[in-house]
Amino acid sequence: MLNIRTIYEGTGAPSSPCLTKILREAYDGELCFSDLPGRPLIVGNFVQTLDGIVSLRIPGKSGGADISGRNEEDAFIMGLLRAYADAVMFGEDTFRNAPGHAWTAGFVCPTFDKEFEAFRKHIGKDSLHPVNVVVSGRGHADLDQPLFRHKEIRSLVLTTEQGAARLHERYGTSLPATIHILPGDTVLNPSDMAALLHADYGVKLLLHEGGPTLFSSFLRQALVDELFLTMAPQIVGRGRTGERPAFSGPLGLAPEQAMWSTLLSVKRAAKSGHLFLRYRL
């Protein structure tokens, strides 16, 4: 049984009624996003430990669920964001560490599957699920993953010329996935990715699910509009060589460049003490 309680709600968040009654009650409040002209609104979602870690970097235990402790309120909020999104984006490493995963609302929070579907219809989405976007500049993405055979999910890979050549070498001329080639040697420009999704797929709300390497390139270009950050009440340490990343990955801003943010809301899981923070960046 979900138990999300709103502790604080600022005045800065759009507040027109969007959610269905059941989702509003489960979220203990409203959730609404405004469209931007010319590009998608980009919303990040991460779960971190109290000491700021988002991946344990232990094979088989490096995903968000190990950080959240499989918290159901966190899964619900992730599902809600996916239900809202036109597309969900993630890097090749996040993709590789989640074999069999589908970036849909119902996959992460099956209890609300039908309600999420109803919500998408209610807000006029023309597809059952958000487009799943794998970013793989060098073309390391595993196209044998079931995601690419899922009939109801539109999925695609964003890559470079070099990455596309690698994929063709591995899978032959007719690839089992839709790929888009964007400029770049091995690394793509976040604004090119956002522009392509906006122009070719009509993406107005892009949910960015990391990981830190990919997310940091969006942060560097100030392309992240909002951040949904779950604080899981555990401490795990950075690891002996500091190998466990924060959501900002390799970013290293000078004090005068620091991205100060506005707190939009704070919610709490009543039993476990997880905190759900929403910021405008």
By beta-carbon proximity to ligand NAP, the closer residue of 125 and 220 is 220
- According to DSSP, the β-strands at 131-135 and 178-181 are unpaired
Could you tell me the smallest distance in angstroms from the CB atom of residue 13 to ligand NAP? 21
Q: How far is CA 136 from CA 91, 96, 100, 108, in A?
A: 6, 11, 18, 23
Binding site for ligand NAP (CB under 6 A): 46-47, 54-55, 62-64, 67, 90-94, 97, 135-140, 186-188, 209-214, 217, 245, 249
- The minimum distance between CB 9 and ligand NAP, in angstroms, equals 23
Closest CA relative to residue 140, chosen from 193, 191, 91:
91
The pair phi, psi for residue 86, each rounded to 5°, is: -85, -30
Least gap, CB of 65 to ligand NAP (angstroms): 9
Instruction: Give whichever of 17 and 252 is closer to ligand NAP, judged by the CB atom.
Output: 252
Q: Which CB sits closer to ligand NAP, 35 or 51?
A: 51
Comparison of 29 and 63: residue with beta carbon closer to ligand NAP: 63
In the bound complex, what is the minimum distance in angstroms from residue 137's beta carbon to ligand NAP? 3
The residue whose Cβ lies closest to ligand NAP is: 211
Query: For residue 222, which of 136, 160, 280, 157 has the smallest C-alpha distance?
Result: 280
The answer to whether 92 and 211 are in contact (CB under 8 A) is no
Output the smallest distance, CB 206 to ligand NAP, in A. 14
Q: How far is the CB of 59 from ligand NAP (least distance, A)?
A: 10
Helix 72-84 to helix 113-122 angle, to the nearest 10 degrees?
30
Q: Choose among 125, 104, 100: nearest CA to 113.
A: 104
User: What tokens appear for 237 in the block?
Assistant: 């340490």
| Identity of the residue, 122 or 140, whose beta carbon is nearer to ligand NAP in the bound complex | 140
Q: Select 129 or 244, whichever has its Cβ closest to ligand NAP.
A: 244
